Amino acid sequence: MNGPTPAAARRERILREAVRQGLLDPEQSLLAAFVDLDGVTATVGSLHRAFGRVLPAPGLVLHAFAAKANCLVPVLAELARDGMGCEVATAGELARALAAGFPPDRIVFDSPAKTRGELDRALALGVAVNADNFQELSRIDRALAGRRPRSNIGVRVNSQVGSGTIAAMSTASTTSKFGVPLSDPGTRRQLLRAFRDYPWLTWVHTHAGSQGCPLDLMARGVAQAVEFAEEVNASLGERRVVGIDIGGGLPVNFADDEIDPTFDTYVEYLGTHVPALFERGYQVVTEFGRSVLAKNGFMAAYVEYTKSAGGRPIAVTHAGVQVATRTVFNPEAWPVRIEAHDASGAAKRGRSLRQDVAGPACFAGDLLARDRALPPLEPGDIIVVPDTGAYYFSTPFHYNSLPEPAVHGVRVGEDGRIAFTLLRPAQDAWALPDHAPEVTVIRRPVDVVDRAAR
């Protein structure tokens, strides 16, 4: 029998130390999450190296982390220190990016619904802006009022190259809500006129989708954007488009610990499908999120009860829809792995038993796994959910007023010592939010009630 992978062994070491230090406790800390900061730094390094091999100068690329994947300010601050920029899709994410220390000129603002106020603020700061549609381009032009912008301004194009296996993650379908559709009748000519009319418009942005999208589909989407940029420059007789924002979307392998595909693999696809991206001197922005953080985080939760229904064992745990929303509501598209550990954090091995792993929420579908073969789980055991560093515990769903778990950053020293840093404190389930209004009981005078009754 094969032993644990290096990644699994590292998770086990971290978990055992977290239990020893009381970061997980069956009474006080029933659910906690961990971000491997060493792993984040290594992943960012692999991203820089992959594009550095094909771009003629380091300054030609900005890797902007997609804040939606993990918007915790301390995590964003770590990424800033690792040399990343930041892609934001809301005013809230922009505020977090600024709080994390990203300079405005290393932030990219993407949203299909930017307000006038949001655009004004982004343009005043010098944040890069990717417009989603023709109305937004007009709004930007009015906001600039003839002034030369401090920001790089682009327009998002929908390459309409097709969908991947998860429709909700595919943004280059014929009818996608995002961007200007390049293949719709008359749209390409209208977009060429926009570049002619707006001299401040100098970038093209595209993003074909993420999880479930094959690499050749993503690369073909980038090729469409570069082809259009070349068409703009040829039409205007000048190098108007200077940069291509190729989005992110590198899918993640959730089946095991192997990192597949890699950033190197994606760069090879880009070199095959769109060599002009690297050969024509364009500045490049990427917006990777899930592929940077997913495999560098995991959740751990206690098993509270075990029982059987209809002959199937069920383990009721403290991790469910509040931290694995997509998995619970769409398990076929977003399956997660489950690892069984005992109360000390040691991995449980030996015979397996097919069982359900349930969460704490009050509806029947709150299941992390159905009919999953795992070592028999018992009350007091701990389940680990790997590959959840993006979108899971960092974006909680407050169903049943379930509290947000603590998130801890982890580093392992050269001497093997494990150090934890609190990235987000756990919510107190018994404490009302600061903004909750006090309950006021309104009592009407008896004679008013009597008159209303009459």
How many angstroms separate the CA atoms of 420 and 397, rounded? 25
Question: What pLDDT score was predicted for residue 210?
Answer: 85
Q: What is the mean pLDDT of residues 433-449?
A: 48
Count: domains in the chain: 2
Question: What pLDDT score was predicted for residue 168?
Answer: 80
Same structural domain, 304 and 394: yes
Question: What pLDDT score was predicted for residue 453?
Answer: 37
Same structural domain, 153 and 259: yes
Q: What is the pTM of this model?
A: 0.92
Question: What pLDDT score was predicted for residue 438?
Answer: 52
Residue 184 belongs to some domain of the structure: yes
Residue 437 belongs to some domain of the structure: no
Question: What pLDDT score was predicted for residue 165?
Answer: 84
Question: What pLDDT score was predicted for residue 437?
Answer: 53
Same structural domain, 71 and 110: yes
Residue 448 belongs to some domain of the structure: no
Same structural domain, 217 and 321: no
CATH number of the domain bearing residue 103: 3.20.20.10
Same structural domain, 226 and 90: yes
User: Residue 425's closest CA among 399, 401, 404?
Assistant: 404
Same structural domain, 341 and 244: no
Question: What pLDDT score was predicted for residue 433?
Answer: 66
Residue 326 belongs to some domain of the structure: yes
Structural tokens at position 357:
């792993």
Angle of CA points 28, 33, 38, to nearest 5°: 135
Same structural domain, 306 and 266: no
How many angstroms separate the CA atoms of 297 and 39, rounded? 9
Same structural domain, 187 and 319: no
Structural tokens at position 350:
């030996």
Residue 202: domain span:
37-291
Structural tokens at position 94:
């922009």
How many angstroms separate the CA atoms of 162 and 169, rounded? 11
How many angstroms separate the CA atoms of 41 and 26, rounded? 32
Per DSSP, the residues of 233-266 read HHHHTS----EEE---------SSS---S-HHHH
3 state SS of 181: strand
CATH number of the domain bearing residue 303: 2.40.37.10
How many angstroms separate the CA atoms of 244 and 250, rounded? 17
Same structural domain, 329 and 364: yes
How many angstroms separate the CA atoms of 412 and 406, rounded? 19
Same structural domain, 32 and 42: no
3 state SS of 167: helix
| DSSP letter (8 states) at residue 341 | E
Percent helix, strand, coil in the chain (nearest 5)?
Answer: 35, 25, 45
How many angstroms separate the CA atoms of 333 and 324, rounded? 12
Q: What is the pLDDT of residues 83-123, one digit of tens each?
A: 999 999 999 999 999 999 999 999 999 999 999 999 999 99
Same structural domain, 316 and 276: no
Q: What is the pLDDT of residues 153-211, one digit of tens each?
A: 999 998 877 778 878 877 777 888 888 999 889 999 999 999 999 999 999 999 888 88
Residue 263 belongs to some domain of the structure: yes
